[in-house]
Structure 1
Amino acid sequence: MSNPRKEKRPRVLLVELEYAQISQATIFVELGCAEVSVVTPDGEVLFTQGVLAGRYEASQWLPFMEPQELLRINGHFTAVAARRGRTKRVTYGEGATKTGANPLWRPRTESKFEREMRRTIGALTARVHKQDEELLEQRRERRRERRAELQARQQPVEVVEEVEELQEPPSPAETQ
């Protein structure tokens, strides 16, 4: 059996906003949809527009209305008409700045587990930095070796002994 209190019934509202209220009103359409209508004082509906879920400024319908007409909203929505002033100074009186915080509170000291964890993380970080430095040094050493090899290849070769000039073989006409 279902509990009647927990059953959600669809909330369908009907609100009429006057011309002066529209400029500051906001309409929040829920998951369903709503209808926005412009109505004359006689009750004649000039037009109706369906709106989907979302937030709408009611002022967007002002260009389609005369000052004596009403904006009727029907469906699943919440209309919020703001008051004239946007902000208002509020005075709270004596003791408004006092807090309910515990005046005896002190920051807790780190636990044994936390100290151990920080020590372990520090050791691991140091080990990683050391390995990074070793790899960097190995790369530098390899670069030095490669440069030395390239310089050795580019050095001119010394001539140990000179080769006698070769004479051209005699032509076939000379041999006959």
Structure 2
Amino acid sequence: MSFMERSRERDDLAGALIGLARACVANGKTEDADAVLLAGLRALGNGGREQGKALTEQASREKNRICPGCALCTSRCGNTDDYEMERMWRAEESVRGAKLLIWERLCRMAALGGALEEEERELLYKGLYVLAEDWPMEQLLDTALELPGPWGEESGLPRDVRSYLSNHGI
């Protein structure tokens, strides 16, 4: 299942996972947050649409538990808002390609489930956090290069993304 397969449920879940990760980076994470993020990423990696709505609601509840004031804040900073995936889908091709590569890597990591060390779990949060940033392709790819796992054939990526990875020996 490729992350390129779009649906409203998948976009909502992805945006909620980014919001939860950003809330955890700003306010501290919980074991429940780890479990929700891993389940959500596994569902995205497996294309589990039927789980999407329930996992999206679970991510929102956990985010509100971690930072309850954010949901009611009248001076919103946006730091813990769910990410609008449409921003990624409309981004420049190379930026979108870099973000899709990060998604693919995060879903592969989550597929390992409980086998992740704490350092790898921190990389999940970092990867999700940066997806909401409006960074250039190179900066996004530097984050992708930090994510563990095998690097396969990346031929579906835009040419400048493949070129950048090639220049880094990938």
Task: Sort the TM-score into its range (normalised by shorter chain).
Answer: under 0.3
Q: Judging by fraction of residues, say which structure has more strand.
A: 1
- Calculate the TM-score normalised by the size of structure 1: 0.22
Q: Judging by fraction of residues, say which structure has more helix.
A: 2
- Calculate the TM-score normalised by the size of structure 2: 0.23
User: Highest CA radius of gyration, 1 or 2?
Assistant: 1
Q: Which has the higher contact order (CA 8 A, sep 6+)?
A: 2
